[in-house]
Structure 1
Amino acid sequence: MFERFRRRALAPLVTTALAAALLTIGGPPSAEAAVPATIPLKVTNSSGRGEPVYIYNLGTLLTTGQQGWADANGAFHAWPAGGNPPTPAPDASIPGPAAGQTKTIRIPKFSGRIYFSYGQKLVFKLTTGGLVQPAVQNPSDPNRDILFNWSEYTLNDSGLWINSTQVDMFSAPYAVGVQRSDGSTVNTGHLKSGGYNGFFTALRGQPGGWANLIQTRSDGTVLRALSPGHGLETGALPASVMDDYVNRVWQKYSSSTLTVTPFTDQPNTKYYGRVSGGVMNFTNSAGAVVTSFQKPDADSIFGCHKLLDAPNDLVRGPISRTLCAGFNRSTLITNPNQPDTTTAGFYQDVVTNHYARKIHAQMADGKAYAFAFDDVGNQESLVHDGNPLQAYLTLDPFS
């Protein structure tokens, strides 16, 4: 049980969702990059809440590979050595803007997270392996009753990638943006009017245990909804929640072929999936088996890992990403040609990732990172610019 609820150490570079986007659109650093060592991040508090806000910029300094935090001026501070049991981390908090106010800090060439919390500072600890992040699916996590959220970003010589993410949880609403070198701005992550309450109302009304993903404080404050993968850990969702759909997919492709064209710029690169002996084997155009998949369980689907592991290669990883998106969006039965990028067909089966479905339905631009490979078909809430002038983080209303 302890292993299931053990809090995670901060990844050396980026979290899964952002790493996937960087592989897709980032490319290698430009030899002519003119990105400065730090850029401004303008934080605007439009939440309407009266509690103090605390901001944290935590991650890996790309020039050295060291893990640490950045202060309000963008200066890097390496974490000290941790311990076992974990030891308290230095206070890396930056006082955020009051309601209705803005504050500008600077962010360095980092790959990591910008956390923000309301009312209380977050509790961070250090193990011998690095920083321990909050893991509020664990009922004993010290951050369980704190209202907080985070954005993921990478700033390097090729520019800025910054997202709003719901891969782990849906919580305090926010949006991100970037000012491009021509002065124009682009943003993503805003909810529709009424979208915050609308999401929780919709999740409460979804039968099958989905309402159990919602976590509240003892005073009744709604804190968050856990992602379904974490819901499996806590027992909020039954382990069999996706079994019926998976069984139907396996049955369909026992007698027909699933065609995966993983690269939009390589339409002739195709892989062909058929189920034989309970295993889905993929062949290339020459008929050679290139990779195989066991029938995935719900955890593998929601987490896009384990039986749907996606290594950073050019064959299994891209196929697995496509399968993961197809299972979460329940498009594999309705369309034998994947990835399916027609959003009208997403989440239409009674067995689907209802958490992701309800998040996307409440986003102003329809974009979200509701599961790790939500960028398949460009459905992710991510902005990028190769020479950014400024980044934005807007704390939105709880309505």
Structure 2
Amino acid sequence: MGTPAPAEATSAGEVTSAAEAAVPATLPLKITNNSGRDDRLYIYDLGTSLTTGQQGWADVSGTFHPWPAGGNPPTPAPDASIPGPAAGQSATIRIPRFSGRIYFSYGEKLVFKLTTGGLVQPAVQNPSDPNRNILFNWSEYTLNDSGLWLNSTQVDMFSAPYAVGVQRSDGSTTSTGHLRPGGYNGVFNALRTQPGGWAGLIQSRADGTVLRALSPGHGLETGGLPSGVLDDYVSRVWQKYASTTLTVTPFADQPNTKYYGRVSGGVMNFTNGSGTVVTSFQKPDADSVFGCHKLLDAPNDAVRGPISRTLCAGFNRSTLLANPDQPDPTTANFYRDAVTNHYARIIHAQMADGKAYTFPFDDVGNQESLVHDSDPRQAYLTLDPFS
């Protein structure tokens, strides 16, 4: 879901000429295949060109190719695959100024099609998706005048393990996304034994090969997860804040900007410091919580969006009952309630640095698996072992 978003500039001329000079038109991405798998590997660099504004793909040299016109029904997209390195080897491609995804697949090429509206991304929660039985994953990135944002993501699914990294101008590197030893199998084992239907998120081939765990929101779509899985917790939150005030401080760099929530007539109303109601929320269902949308929609504004993202993080991490001041900065308090986003809890617990992007606003409190540098020299995608 979405690509990592750079911080917004405060004016149209904010980006300095030094920053523009520092970020090249294309950046080397070193792909290392430590998967231990013998399957043929395919790489794809797909997205929106920040130079032309068109959707398309980049080849191994970073040259941009716009998609041709699609159709209805969708028509096959051009083959944008790049041969990946064999197990135990590395290869370097160049990535252009993009907001997009780096896909990788094992054993088979992915199937991409084009509609009149553009590219159809894989959606394996749909049983008829042509990529349903392919083992694949993707990373998201933005490369622009202000630098590189590159993440590992589990917002849609947990699948083939990988990590991302960046080399800075001083030669140092930083990375994130690696699992703990045994962490890949640990995620699936924990989901299988988690009461409440969480095993229903796991998708396998007919031969028993485990392919992925869908995110809870997609699990609701498939019927793999019960629709009322969060009802008890949400009801307890609504009950608590009918008589208690929920204080939201949505901006870490603006500690004096606060909003105050109380439930009245089944609706949580938020007021500002003057007592004026600035936004209201209906009692959310599990789909709204897991997707941080619908009844918890978060528009890109200065009030409702920031409040909603804070609420979304609090619901997914089940911190709203324990702490009336949100967001809760203490990771030891996350996922402590029996009713929580166990998908997110389990994945974070298996990450080497505890960081992961398991729901859309997992970046609240900087819990996301993201690397960023304003003067990048090289990016890294490391495909990790499955065992």
Tell me, yes or no, whether TM beats 0.5: yes
1:280 partnered with 2:268: yes
SS at the partner of 2:284? coil
Q: Which amino acid aligns with 2:77?
A: A
Q: Which amino acid aligns with 2:193?
A: G
> Partner of 2:144 in structure 1?
156
Task: Work out the CA distance in 1 between the residues paired with 2:267 and 2:80.
Answer: 48
1:310 partnered with 2:316: no
| Identity of matched residues, % | 82
> Partner of 2:18 in structure 1?
32
Counterpart of 2:62 (choices 71, 74, 82) is: 74
State the 1:64 CA deviation.
1.4
> Partner of 2:258 in structure 1?
270
Structure-2 change in CA distance of 1:199 and 1:332 (3 Å): same
Q: Which amino acid aligns with 2:190?
A: A
> Partner of 2:216 in structure 1?
228
TM-score by length of 1: 0.94
SS at the partner of 1:72? coil
Q: Which amino acid aligns with 2:183?
A: G
SS at the partner of 2:348? helix
> Partner of 1:124 in structure 2?
112
2:43–2:83 contact (8 Å) kept in structure 1: yes
> Partner of 1:367 in structure 2?
355
> Partner of 1:114 in structure 2?
102
Q: Which amino acid aligns with 1:44?
A: T
> Partner of 1:198 in structure 2?
186
Q: Which amino acid aligns with 1:313?
A: D
Q: Which amino acid aligns with 1:79?
A: W
1:17–1:373 contact (8 Å) kept in structure 2: no
SS at the partner of 1:154? strand
Q: Which amino acid aligns with 2:78?
A: P
Q: Which amino acid aligns with 1:160?
A: L
Task: Work out the CA distance in 2 between the residues paired with 1:317 and 1:99.
Answer: 43
Counterpart of 2:232 (choices 230, 238, 244) is: 244
> Partner of 1:11 in structure 2?
none
Please give the root-mean-square deviation of Cα atoms over the aligned residues, in Å: 1.3
Task: Work out the CA distance in 1 between the residues paired with 2:386 and 2:59.
Answer: 28
Task: Work out the CA distance in 2 between the residues paired with 1:193 and 1:232.
Answer: 30
Deviations 1:70-98 (A, max 9, x none): 00000000000000000000000000000
> Partner of 1:8 in structure 2?
none
> Partner of 1:9 in structure 2?
none
Task: Work out the CA distance in 2 between the residues paired with 1:64 and 1:188.
Answer: 30
SS at the partner of 1:367? coil
Structure-2 change in CA distance of 1:379 and 1:25 (3 Å): farther
State the 1:341 CA deviation.
1.3
Task: Work out the CA distance in 1 between the residues paired with 2:383 and 2:67.
Answer: 27
Structure 1, unmatched stretches of 5+, are 1-14
1:44 partnered with 2:53: no
1:90 partnered with 2:78: yes
Task: Work out the CA distance in 2 between the residues paired with 1:281 and 1:302.
Answer: 21
Q: Which amino acid aligns with 1:95?
A: P
Task: Work out the CA distance in 2 between the residues paired with 1:248 and 1:202.
Answer: 26
2:3–2:99 contact (8 Å) kept in structure 1: no
State the 1:143 CA deviation.
0.1
1:26–1:158 contact (8 Å) kept in structure 2: no
State the 1:18 CA deviation.
1.9
Task: Work out the CA distance in 1 between the residues paired with 2:272 and 2:305.
Answer: 14
Q: Which amino acid aligns with 1:235?
A: G
Structure 2, unmatched stretches of 5+, are none
Task: Work out the CA distance in 2 between the residues paired with 1:158 and 1:301.
Answer: 32
State the 1:167 CA deviation.
0.1
Deviations 1:2-25 (A, max 9, x none): xxxxxxxxxxxxx44623xx2489
> Partner of 1:213 in structure 2?
201
Number of matched pairs: 383
Q: Which amino acid aligns with 2:359?
A: F
TM-score by length of 2: 0.97
